[in-house]
Structure 1
Amino acid sequence: MSPPTSTLSAPNKGGFAESLAGWPPPVLDPAGPYAGSVTTLSWILFFMGVAVLGVVLMALWIALFGKERLRARLGGKKVIWIGGIAFPVVVLTALLVYGLTLTRNLTAPPGPTAMTVRVTGEMWWWRVDYLGSDGQLAMRDANELHIPVGKTVVVQLESNDVIHSFWVPRLSGKLDMIPGRRNVMKIQADKPGVFGGQCAEYCGGPHALMGFVVVAHEPAEFQRWMAARQTRVQQAAAANTRGAQLFQSTGCAACHRIAGTQANGLAGPDLTHIGTRQSIGAGILPNNRGTLIGWIGNAQAIKPGNRMPPYTMLSGEDLQALADYMQAQK
């Protein structure tokens, strides 16, 4: 199933799982120029692998069942020099030159209009910082990246703990996130949609459940989305609800941040806009009231080993109040 191609006026209505399933698989279905060059090179390697396998099987058949004359020629020095040395050197050299030429757009300097974001790998989620033209933090989010269609996005990759790897197969290749170092990659989407990503480097614990979502908007819609995020004002009604009181009294505010409130924790994902996200738990569950209640109540049962403790002491009414408060954060 292909990602939706219409505008994403309600991005939290599902769809993130669709980007991770169906045929062709994401790695062979590029949606942007940087993924396209990687996919082209991958197909060439696939076909070359099949061709080499065919040659090896043919040589094996000759060695076992071929005529004596063919078997003698197969074991001769000429075949060894040509097939074992000359041919690999020529083919691999040509492949190296072509591969570097084909993927030069991955390392070319971005244009002056490129958008810049910083994604930091955490155990086991993603911190997302949108940077302004001056390189300063403009907005903070988590586990989800919104980008405009047709525009290059420079992604600064960092890690606060162990080695992670950022990979959104339909938008670019993969690149490691190494503690103490900043790596840079480029992504671009040529059409609107929801594109799933994944940590591609084993990082312990629930590594396999460390997902990511990229949402590509038409440029005008992206500008409206960004303006709404940057001018967000905490609603007084939401701030005075039971859910807001529980968020403070149960210790949620010690780990999470919600702009416009006293919650300024940095240990966990920023929840300022959680009500609009595609997913929760770092891309593993659709974002709705039911999944929020389950995650808040016992995240360990859903994603064993993650750093959020279970809140089994909360009543059903308390969990519903907290979930309603989370859904109000938009």
Structure 2
Amino acid sequence: MRTPSSLSFLKKTVAASRAACVLAAVFLLAGCSQLNFWQMDGHQTSMVTAGPVAESQLQVFYATVWVTAIIFVVVAAVLTYATIKFKARTTDDENAPPPEQSHGNPLIELSLIGVSVLALVFIAFPTLRAIWFTYDVPEEERENAYVIDAIGYQWWFKFDYPMEQIDGVGALSVANEMVIPAGRPVRVNLRTVDVIHSFWVPKLAGKVDMTPNRGNHMWLQADEPGYFWGQCAEYCGDSHAVMRFRVIALNEADFAEWVAHKKLPARTVTPEIADPARAERPQITFASFKRNEYGFSDKWDPRSQVSPLDNWRQQQFPHEGEDAALIAQGRKLFQTKTCIACHTVRGHEGMGITGPELTHIASQTTIAAGLLENTPEQMARWIMHPEVVKPGNKMYTTGYVPSEITIDQDEALALVAYLQSLK
């Protein structure tokens, strides 16, 4: 039996809880408006789909939401009804006998079991259908499927194109920006060289793990040309949160042109190519950046007139007014600073395999595994302070530290000029 004092305390506690819930709801709604929650159209949203795999998974989500929403409404309505009808309105009601109980009523209990089973079936049917559909490229499309091998490293992604062979080299290979043909299914073979990673392009397909010593695969398709954000979705070490990548979908003609260009050796800038009268050095501000300070490639607002795909297209063309002498100095530094031990620049120097291939690095929109914009300033920041940008990265821990590599501003300027010439 509750005493009047305990009943008063309970009422105050309930009132305080209600006030806290209302206040929390206000802050939540305010935060949602700032985070663009209601539009749910951010770069890595799964609520806006651009391919059949993501669309199938979104439909499973909607089916689950509707079922659980109906259950919530029914349970909340019954609870509200019972609370209002049977609540103690006076002190005498506290001592009244409880109302008649329905426990043990076969009709009610069988009905609840039947409704629960029906709800599970309603969720299971689209779920199983989506599992079979998303597991691999549909049989009728397999002959037309394009194949890419995605390999996870701490903390970047390598993409090999086994269908695009380069004489004497092997398969075409790029890092962190996977270019695919639009309107065509792409089978992605998932591998890892170290720990478990997870491959995730929210607008194209859900998360699939890359597991050591075990082959895995997935498929995706972009219905139209576009630029999509990807992310490692499995904690894999210090810089897991900044292990990003991009997927660029091109129409058939543009994709064929991109492949043909990527197969070419690295571009070489000579005094005959560059115009000495118009030569200019990269515009770099050697600022002091904070750890993980903004440098992410997230500046494109989906509602703006700026297209990240158009920006990627512009990135494919060489800059005018290159300083051939500075580029040559940077190429020499690329050798003496032992960058060639980890990186490959086809047609120039280097046969390294532990780091990304840099043959056409300047044609990408991002560097540092999708973390920084591919601009001279951000590239200089990455070269001079890799550990500050991405803690624990192998370039610093297995390259800079044991070899006692240091790079000053003049050396960084030359290295950036060289790397930015590799279109």
What letter is aligned with 1:274? Answer: I
Superposed displacement of residue 290, structure 1: 0.7
The unaligned stretches of length 5 or more in structure 2 are 1-38, 88-97, 271-323
Q: Give me the identity figure in percent.
A: 35
Unaligned runs of 5+ in 1: 1-21
Q: Which of these residues, 42, 47, 65, is aligned with residue 61 of structure 2?
A: 42
Q: Please point out which of 370, 374, 384 is paired with 1:283.
A: 370
Match of 2:35 in 1: none
- Cα contact 1:63–1:74 (8 A) shared by 2: no
- Shift of the alpha carbon at 1:61? 2.2
Q: Radius of gyration: which is bigger? A: 2
- Note if 1:61 corresponds to 2:92: no
Greater shift in the superposed pair: 95-104 or 201-210? 95-104
Residue 183 of structure 2 aligns with which residue? 150
Q: Of the candidates 106, 110, 134, which is equivalent to residue 81 of structure 1? A: 110
- Does residue 177 (structure 1) correspond to residue 177 (structure 2)? The answer is no
CA contact (8 A) 1:37 1:103 kept: no
What is the alpha-carbon distance in structure 1 between the residues aligned to residue 103 and residue 254 of structure 2? Answer: 64
Question: Comparing both chains, which one has the higher relative contact order based on Cα–Cα distances under 8 Å and sequence gaps of 6 or more?
Answer: 1
CA distance, structure 1, for counterparts of residue 164 and residue 337 of structure 2? 38
Matched-pair contact (CA < 8 Å) for 2:266–2:348:
no
Q: What is the CA–CA distance in structure 2 between the aligned matches of 1:97 and 1:145, rounded to whole Å?
A: 33
Aligned partners of 2:60 and 2:123 also within 8 Å: no
Deviation at 1:104, TM superposition (A): 3.3
Return the alpha-carbon distance in structure 1 between the equivalents of residues 67 and 122 of structure 2. 12
* Deviation for aligned residue 1:145: 0.2
User: Which residue does 1:119 correspond to in 2?
Assistant: 150
- Look up the SS of the partner of 2:385 in the other structure: helix
Q: CA 1:74 to 1:57, structure 2 compared with 1: closer, same or farther past 3 Å? A: farther
Matched, 1:295 2:386: no
Contact 1:234 1:259 in 2 (8 A): no
Residue equivalent to 2:330: 243
Instruction: Answer yes or no: is the 8 Å Cα contact 1:30–1:170 preserved in 2.
Output: yes
Structure 1 position 94 matched with structure 2 position 125: no
What does residue 225 of structure 1 align with? 258
The Cα shift of 1:114 comes to 1.0
TM-score, normalising length: structure 2? 0.67
Q: Aligned match of 1:131 in 162, 168, 173? A: 162
**Inter-partner Cα distance in structure 1 for 2:372 and 2:351:** 25
Instruction: Output one character per residue of 1:254-310: Cα deviation in whole Å (capped at 9) or x when no partner.
Output: 111111123111111111121011211111111111110000000111122222216
1:70 and 1:202 map into 2 onto residues whose CA distance is: 53
Count of matched residue pairs? 307
> How does the TM-score come out when normalised to structure 1?
0.85
* Root mean square deviation, CA, Å: 2.5
Give the Cα separation in 2 of the matches to 1:212 and 1:67: 58
Q: Pick closer, same or farther for the CA change 1:270–1:133 going to 2, 3 Å.
A: closer
Letter in 2 for 1:327: Q
Deviation at 1:62, TM superposition (A): 3.5
Question: Is the 2:164–2:171 contact (alpha carbons within 8 Å) kept by the matching residues of 1?
Answer: no
